[in-house]
């Protein structure tokens, strides 16, 4: 059972097979197209997470867009929930990294400006 702290809900998945959550790779393109055809949808744009059960991709979710496709013949609602929780974490990590980069650039800019004001030392 997995708890979604942000959404306040609980996602439970009962399966004998391991569930693998990972980023989609180029080699997953055909499997994603087949999954989109089954779901009568489109492959999510941009970076995509996939949920693999028993070596087969059963659900996929766009990290930025939260658009998803899932196997309609497999109980995949909980898989989409797991993908959404992981994507939320990745989105927050990206934002934090961006904020850190901005802070560093600001510091370097300030130091460069100070050095330019002081001029060369002899």
C-alpha to C-alpha distance for 15 and 19, rounded to whole angstroms: 8
| pLDDT tens per residue, range 18-49 | 999 999 999 999 999 999 999 999 999 999 99
3-state SS class at 99: helix
| pLDDT tens per residue, range 56-92 | 999 999 998 999 999 999 999 999 999 999 999 998 8
Whether the Cβ atoms of residue 71 and residue 60 lie closer than 8 Å to each other = no
Domains and CATH numbers, the chain: 2-118 (3.40.630)
pTM of the model: 0.68
Neighbouring CB atoms inside 10 A of 56's CB total 14
């Amino acid at each position: 059972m997995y708890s979604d702290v942000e959404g306040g809900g609980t996602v439970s998945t009962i399966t004998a097979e391991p569930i693998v959550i990972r980023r989609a790779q180029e080699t997953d393109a055909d499997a994603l197209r087949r999954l989109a055809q089954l779901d009568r949808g489109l492959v999510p744009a941009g970076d995509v997470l996939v949920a693999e059960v028993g070596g087969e991709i059963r659900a996929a979710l766009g990290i930025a867009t939260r658009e998803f496709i899932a196997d309609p013949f497999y109980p995949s609602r909980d898989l989409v929930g797991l993908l959404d929780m992981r994507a939320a974490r990745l989105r927050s990590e990206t934002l934090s990294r961006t904020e850190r980069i901005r802070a560093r650039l600001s510091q370097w800019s300030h130091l460069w400006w100070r050095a330019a004001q002081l001029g060369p030392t002899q």
